[in-house]
Structure 1
Amino acid sequence: MNDRVLVFEGIHNFRDYGGYAAADGRLRHGLLWRSGQHCDATPDDLAGVADLGISTVIDLRGDSERQLMPCLRHESFDGLVLFAPGETAGSELAPHEEAGRGITTADEARAAMTRLYENMPFRMVLVRSLTLYFEALATREGASLLHCLAGKDRTGLAAALLHRLLGVHEDDVMADYLLTNVAGNQKRRIAAAGASIRQRYGSQITDEAIETLMGVDAMYLDAATRSIHERYGSTERYAEEVLGVDATRRQALRQKLVN
């Protein structure tokens, strides 16, 4: 799985989420990229990203996040950056930051993250962002980059939805989601986030709680999936009724992304 990961200095969790076996073949490599924010990207990082030929960027962050941490782009980048205006996480904070409010221990952090995931698929600005994501994948040419702040929660949900709609085996869906926990320089990523979370909420938050907030757990994605199925019966029906991904759009996704 780590063969998928590109290690950059200032961009975390950068990886290819294509290549998995799907219902009608295999997802193409080199077309589907995901990551965290690019605000801290170095010139070498930007050059490495430019080499991937990305023509579409789908930014799942909210307005406040984009304003506070504007992503850097290589001077040669001439692609399209898509986002929905508003706050995709329900506040000005990323989900892992929002979950840090009022917690101290790892167990409390895990419970807070699970509660956030239960509602994440129905947050209206994120829904609009996901609608843009699926529209872009079905209609635009070239490679795409999907990212949020940490590249693990909103991005993880979006990638899992695409995988499921294209028939990727559930084991691979979860393996790709959990790859966040070992992708790239974990110590640097967690330390940077830990300083921000403690500055916002206080020093009482344990190291284990910070690691929990900055990681992913199967129970988080399971919580989102369970909420989707409770309301809509299936991922396919949710995608069609909420995100506009009907049978025609699913076929377009297969034609673009599966060989």
Structure 2
Amino acid sequence: MNERVLAFDGIHNFRDYGGYTARDGRLRQGVLWRSGQHADATPDDLAGVGDLGITTVVDLRGDSERQLMPCLRHDGFDGLVLFAPGETAGSELAPHEEAGRGITTADEARAAMTRLYENMPYRDVLVRSLTLYFEALATREGPSLLHCLAGKDRTGLAAALLHRLLGVHEDDVMEDYLLTNKAGNQKRRIAAAGDSIRQRYGAQITDEAIETLMGVDAMYLDAATRTINERYGSAERYAEEVLGVDAARREALRGKLIA
């Protein structure tokens, strides 16, 4: 198990995305956490999360997802939970569930996920959620937790944007993104998602297609990066014009997150 990853029974893909070398130093460790949803967390899981001292939770899921799978919190949790009302994935579905519509094979799943990532940086409710995320990182004290349903697509995009704004090397940006494919109990996570996706779209979807939907691929993040660069020239300009992360906010992020 990668040393970044915390092993929980009911919370998938829980890990520290700090610690990377950045432009002006190194990202602090123990203050930037990311994961999937917490609706299935066990009491031991919640106690473990409680030990991290998290003061801010940024929930990138939409209203339907939060209603269907409300996240559990440990006793005594008094942190701030931030989210933007509405559907961040453009529907009531998580991105990987949305991409399952009309596909059968792994190649079709990969193409659907790539198309989804091309549009993900411009979805209105997700944009508002990402704006809250960067504002919280720049202004609040204490460790934060960033999560969506599976902790891989919306969360992966947000973490990659932060890394790029702070000057993390592209190899490390991609390494952190791809760590989803190794973090936690992959077989159990994929099996649970497979049941849900097949109930919604049919039994014709292959095991390989389910694995493709539930994993990440460099081409997915590259697709989002390409559209950002085509429209704005850089992640920095996108963040400033779309998310309000101007020079002052970038400086605040460096002050809070770089040791």
Letter of the 2:75 counterpart: E
**Which 5+ residue runs of structure 2 have no aligned equivalent?**
none
Q: The residue matched to 2:37 in structure 1 has which SS? A: coil
Q: Distance in 1 between matches of 2:4 and 2:190?
A: 20
CA RMSD across the alignment:
0.6
Q: How does 1:65-104 map to 2 (within 5 A)?
A: 65-104=65-104
Map of 1:27-46 to 2, 5 A cutoff?
Answer: 27-46=27-46
Instruction: Name the amino acid aligned to 2:162.
Output: L
**Alpha-carbon deviation of 1:163?**
0.1
What secondary structure, in the 3-state scheme, does the structure 2 residue paired with 1:57 have? strand
Pairing of 1:55-204 with structure 2 (within 5 A): 55-204=55-204
Q: Which runs of 4+ in 1 moved over 6 A?
A: none
2:128 & 2:211 partners in 1: Cα distance?
30
Q: Write the distance in 1 (CA, Å) between the matches of 2:132 and 2:45.
A: 26
Unaligned runs of 5+ in 1: none
Partner Cα separation in structure 2 for residue 115 and residue 160 of structure 1: 18
**Number of matched pairs:** 259
Deviation at residue 76 of structure 1 after TM alignment: 1.1
- Is 2:246 the counterpart of 1:251? no
- Residues in 2 aligned to 1:194 and 1:141: alpha-carbon distance in whole angstroms: 38
Per-residue deviation, residues 199-227 of structure 1 (Å, max 9, x unmatched): 00000000000000000000000000000
Alpha-carbon distance in structure 2 between the residues aligned to 1:31 and 1:201: 39
Q: Report the Cα offset of residue 89 of structure 1.
A: 0.2
Structure-2 separation of matches of 1:184 and 1:12: 6
Cα distance, 1:236 vs. partner? 0.5
Identity, in percent, stands at 89
TM-score by length of 2: 1.00
TM-score scaled by length of structure 1: 1.00
